[in-house]
Structure 1
Amino acid sequence: MFPFLADAVGCLFGLRNGKLACAGRDQMRLRRRMLMKKLVILTAVASVLCAGTASAQYEGETGCVMFEHANFRGRAIEMGSNDSVSFRGGQFWNDRVSSVIVRRGCTFVAYEHSRMRGESIELNRRVRDFGGSGWNDRISSAECYCDDRY
């Protein structure tokens, strides 16, 4: 029986073998309990499957990648969510970044001086070539962080 209408007397109407049938109050209560149990089980399963996915979505994954040359070429340095790097003068990566990939849901913040100081630029997308932007071979420190929206 597939219920589709309940009357004021407490009779649940539905179709059985193509004919209109009525289920009594006890049958209605039993069906409601079964439906509620199914709903509770479904909710519990969905909770278990989705638990922790939002906050740990980027954990252990690369959020941002800096490249030595334009067009994502040359040596690369990967950054996970909530990673930061700071290059001192004389270190290879100091003032060498020419392109960057930023994963969806992540933000890349680059600074002109080490220890996150000086002028900065914030990006939510990839940049194929920093040339012409004033940031080519100028980055001395950077941060990558990813939010939990995706």
Structure 2
Amino acid sequence: MIYVRLILLCTLASQLSAQCPSPSSLPTKTAEGKSMCARMYEHNSVDVNASCRGAFLEVHIGQASPYTPQGWNNRVSSMVVREGCTLTAYDGGPFKGTPRDFTGVIKDLSVYGRGFLRNSWNDELSAYSCACTFEPVDCTPTAKWELIISCDNKGHGNPTKCTYELQEGLSIGNSVTRGGSVSSTVSATISSEMGATFAEIGSVSASSSVTESFSKEYNWARSSSIHKSATTLKKVEMTAGPGKTTELYQIVGRCGDSSVFTEKYKIVSV
């Protein structure tokens, strides 16, 4: 009896300590590896620190489900929607009934009415779709040492100094932003998803015979550059000796038309 009571108390304590994650702390990928749009939970509470409990259902960007998966019809009680995204819920089957858009943290669906003299949205969701103001990160990432600029001093008898402003940070491509501007919070969530994508890269490749001897290792998971959702410039000075050429190389990641200019660079004389 004491053992059973202990299990019940531990379970209750676990449920009470549950907390709705913030939209920015949602994983950027679902368990299936698709771009996260929202999470829907089976339990709710007026207290955000005790809501979003029990089993949850993940929704990816662009998903449109005319029916909820088996066991989830009229079961959703709370949800968290990713930054820049909107989950549209339906209460009458395949995209029928009263639609309602949800964004951010919805800790308790029972406080949301479904129209005149109708019950709340708690345990009433039967179909849904989820869309965002941006496209999911869908690419095969690559990374290599790229030649950025050469300081050519061949044919001259004195040293030559070259100054260059090196980019660092993430340049989000138009294919992700749809050619428009995005807010800083949306840029941050795209950066996180881009970081998760680049973390899958095992090594950095060479771009020429010069870079064959360069390090092939770069820790994308700990990269500060990939989480800078706008590029900054860093002043780099190079000196080419008489009759020499000095080259500036940088580890650059590419993901479709998005690019990550890392803080890792190297200057060599050739």
Structure-1-length-normalised TM-score: 0.56
Residue 128, structure 1, aligned to residue 107, structure 2: yes
Aligned partner of 2:58 in structure 1 is 78
Aligned partner of 1:63 in structure 2 is 37
Assess if the C-alpha contact under 8 Å between 1:87 and 1:93 holds in 2.
Answer: no
RMSD, aligned α-carbons: 2.3
Assess if the C-alpha contact under 8 Å between 2:80 and 2:103 holds in 1.
Answer: no
- Between 1:97-106 and 1:129-138, the stretch displaced more is 129-138
Q: Distance in 1 between matches of 2:79 and 2:65?
A: 14
- 1:1-150 aligned at under 5 Å gives the runs 60-70=34-44, 71-87=51-67, 91-133=70-112, 134-148=120-134, 149=182, 150=186
Aligned AA for 1:62? M
Gaps of 5+ in 1: 1-56
Q: Distance in 2 between matches of 1:86 and 1:137?
A: 16
Q: Distance in 2 between matches of 1:83 and 1:129?
A: 23
Q: Distance in 1 between matches of 2:78 and 2:104?
A: 11
Q: Distance in 1 between matches of 2:131 and 2:102?
A: 11
Q: Distance in 2 between matches of 1:124 and 1:67?
A: 14
Higher normalized strand content (fraction of residues): 1
Shift, 1:138, TM fit: 0.5
Q: Distance in 1 between matches of 2:126 and 2:79?
A: 14
The percentage of counterpart residues that share the same residue type is 30
Gaps of 5+ in 2: 1-27, 45-50, 113-119, 135-181, 187-270
Q: Distance in 2 between matches of 1:95 and 1:120?
A: 14
Aligned AA for 1:86? P
Q: Distance in 2 between matches of 1:97 and 1:111?
A: 12
Aligned AA for 2:75? R
Aligned AA for 1:146? C
Q: Distance in 2 between matches of 1:136 and 1:108?
A: 15
Post-superposition Cα deviations, 1:3-31, rounded to whole Å, max 9, x if no partner, equal xxxxxxxxxxxxxxxxxxxxxxxxxxxxx
Shift, 1:126, TM fit: 1.5
Q: Distance in 2 between matches of 1:106 and 1:128?
A: 17
Aligned AA for 1:84? A
Shift, 1:83, TM fit: 0.7
Structure-2-length-normalised TM-score: 0.32
Assess if the C-alpha contact under 8 Å between 2:95 and 2:128 holds in 1.
Answer: yes
